[in-house]
Structure 1
Amino acid sequence: MSTETELKLALAPDAIRALRRHPLVTAAEKLGNAQTLVNTYFDTPALALHKARIAVRTRKQGATWLQTVKCAANAVGGLSSRPEWEQPYRDEFDFSSVDATAVRQRLEALAGQIQPVFTTTFKRETRRLTPSPEVEILMMIDQGHIQAGDGRDPISELELELVRGSAQDLFDLAGTLAERVPLMPTDRSKAERGYRLFLGTPDAPRQAAKSTVHPRQSPLDAFRALAFDGLQQWQENTLGALVHDDPEYVHQLRVALRRLRSLIRLFRPALPDSFVERWSEVLRDTAADLGDTRNFDVLLDDILAPADPAPLMPDELLTPLREHAIAVRDTARKAARARLTHADHGQRILGFSADIHRLSNDALTAAADLTTFARLQLNALRKRARKRFASGDSLDPEQLHELRVSLKQLRYGLEFFRPLFDTKALKQYLGGVRQAQTDLGYLNDVATARTLMLDWLDHTPPLSAPTHFLIGWHAQQYARTRRRVVLEIETLLTGKTPWRAGR
Structure 2
Amino acid sequence: MAQETELKLLLRPETLPALLAHPLLGGQRPRPRRLRNTYVDTPALDLMARGLAVRERRIGRSTLLTVKTAGTSIGGLSVRGEWEGPTRPGQPDFPALLGEHPLATTLAALADELAPVFRTDFTRRAWHLEHAGARIELALDQGHIMASRGTATRREPLLELELELVDGPAHALYELALSLAWPTDNDPVRPGLWLMPSDRSKAQRGLALFLGRGPTVQQPAPAATDPGTDPRQAFRTVAWACLGTLQANLAHLALDADALAAAAFVHHSRAALARLLAVLDQHASWLPAPFVATWRTYWQAADRRLTPPGPDATPSPRWMRPLHEALQAPAPGLALLAFARDLHRLDHDGAGAPRPAQPRAASSRARVRKASARAAAA
Q: Which of 249, 271, 276 does residue 260 from structure 1 map onto?
A: 276
Change (3 A) 1:102 1:88: same
Q: TM-score, normalised by structure 1?
A: 0.63
* Alpha-carbon offset, residue 130 of structure 1: 1.5
Aligned to 1:163: 166
For 1:127-138, list aligned pairs within 5 A.
127-131=127-131, 134-138=133-137
Post-superposition offset of 1:256:
1.7
**Deviations 1:110-158, CA, capped at 9 Å, x for gaps:** 11111111001111111111236x4211111111111111111211101
How far, CA to CA, are the matches of 1:102 and 1:217 in structure 2? 32
Pairwise CA distance, 1:28 = 5.7
State the match for 1:143 in structure 2: 142
CA distance in structure 2 between the aligned counterparts of 1:73 and 1:186, rounded to whole angstroms: 15
Give 1:248 deviation, angstroms: 1.7
Quick one: distance in 2 between partners of 1:131 and 1:158?
16
Offset at 1:285?
A: 2.1
Pick closer, same or farther for the CA change 1:124–1:215 going to 2, 3 Å. same
Name 2:71's counterpart in structure 1: 73
Q: Could you list the runs of 5+ residues in structure 1 that have no partner in the other structure?
A: 302-328, 366-503
The one-letter code of the counterpart of 1:79 is L
Q: Which amino acid aligns with 1:109?
A: A
Q: What's the offset of the Cα at 1:261?
A: 1.2
Q: Secondary structure at the match of 2:112?
A: coil
User: Residue in 2 aligned with 1:203?
Assistant: 215
Distance 1:24 1:113, change over 3 A: same
Q: What are the Cα deviations for residues 184-206 of structure 1, in whole angstroms up to 9, with x where unaligned?
A: 00000000011111112232221
Counterpart contact for 2:218–2:268, Cα < 8 Å:
yes
Aligned residue runs from structure 1 range 20-31, under 5 A: 20-25=20-25, 27=26, 29-31=28-30
2:227 is matched with which residue: 199, 215, 218? 215
Residues 1:98 and 1:299: Cα distance change in structure 2 (over 3 Å): closer
CA 1:37–1:226 in structure 2 vs 1: closer, same or farther (change >3 Å)?
same
Q: Name 1:38's counterpart in structure 2.
A: 36
User: 1:1-47 CA distances to partner (integer Å, 9 max, x unpaired)?
Assistant: 1111100000111111111111112x06444x111111000001101
Contact 2:147 2:154 in 1 (8 A): yes
Equivalent residues in 2 for 1:228-247, closer than 5 Å: 228-242=240-254, 243=256, 244-245=259-260, 246-247=262-263
For residues 256 and 112 of structure 1, the distance between their equivalents in structure 2, rounded to whole angstroms, comes to 44
State the 1:251 CA deviation. Answer: 2.1
What does residue range 205-354 of structure 1 map to in structure 2 within 5 Å?
205-242=217-254, 243=256, 244-245=259-260, 246-290=262-306, 292=307, 294-296=308-310, 298=312, 329-354=316-341
Q: CA RMSD in A?
A: 2.0
Compute the displacement of 1:208 (Å): 1.4
Tell me, in whole angstroms, the C-alpha distance in 1 between the residues paired with 2:101 and 2:329.
47
Identify, as 1 or 2, the structure richer in strand. 2
CA distance in 2, matches of 1:364, 1:231: 21
1:84 maps to 82
Matches within 5 A, 1:354-433: 354-360=341-347
Structure 1 pair 297–124 and aligned structure 2 pair: CA distance change class (3 A): farther
Query: After the TM superposition, which residues 74-113 of structure 1 pair with which residues of structure 2 at under 5 Å, given as runs?
Result: 74-91=72-89, 92-96=91-95, 97-99=97-99, 101-113=101-113
Tell me the CA shift for residue 275 of structure 1: 0.9
Q: Distance in 1 between matches of 2:204 and 2:310?
A: 35
- The equivalent residue for 1:17 is 17
Q: Percent identity?
A: 38
Q: Conserved in 1, the CA contact under 8 Å of 2:287 and 2:351?
A: no
Displacement over 3 Å in runs of 4+: 28-31, 296-301, 360-365
Structure 2 spans left out of the alignment, 5+ residues: 183-191, 353-378
**Structure 1's 136 and 360: CA in aligned 2 closer, same or farther, altered over 3 A?**
closer
Counterpart AA for 1:178: A
Contact 1:15 1:182 in 2 (8 A): yes
Q: Which structure carries more relative contact order (alpha carbon 8 Å, separation 6+)? A: 2
Counterpart contact for 1:28–1:127, Cα < 8 Å: no
Write the letter of the residue equivalent to 2:288: P
Give the 3-state SS of the residue equivalent to 2:43 in structure 1.
Answer: coil
Deviation at 1:229, TM superposition (A): 0.7
Task: Give me the TM-score of the superposition, normalised by structure 2.
Answer: 0.83
* Aligned CA distance change for structure 1 residues 146 and 297 (closer, same or farther; 3 Å): farther
**Alignment partner, residue 122 of structure 1:** 122
Cα gap change, 1:175 to 1:104, in 2 (>3 Å): same
Give the whole-Å Cα distance in 2 for the aligned partners of 1:297 and 1:64: 62
Q: Which structure is higher in helix share?
A: 1
SS of the equivalent of 1:222 reads helix
Q: Distance in 1 between matches of 2:201 and 2:100?
A: 22
Rounded to whole Å, the distance in 1 between the matches of 2:314 and 2:38 is 47
Distance 1:100 1:282, change over 3 A: farther
Q: In structure 2, what residue type is equivalent to 1:352?
A: F
Following superposition, the deviation at residue 177 of structure 1 comes to 0.8
Residues in 2 aligned to 1:99 and 1:217: alpha-carbon distance in whole angstroms: 38
Deviation at 1:300, TM superposition (A): 6.3
The amino acid across from 1:346 in the alignment is: G
Deviation (angstroms), 1:289? 3.4
Post-superposition Cα deviations, 1:375-429, rounded to whole Å, max 9, x if no partner, equal xxxxxxxxxxxxxxxxxxxxxxxxxxxxxxxxxxxxxxxxxxxxxxxxxxxxxxx
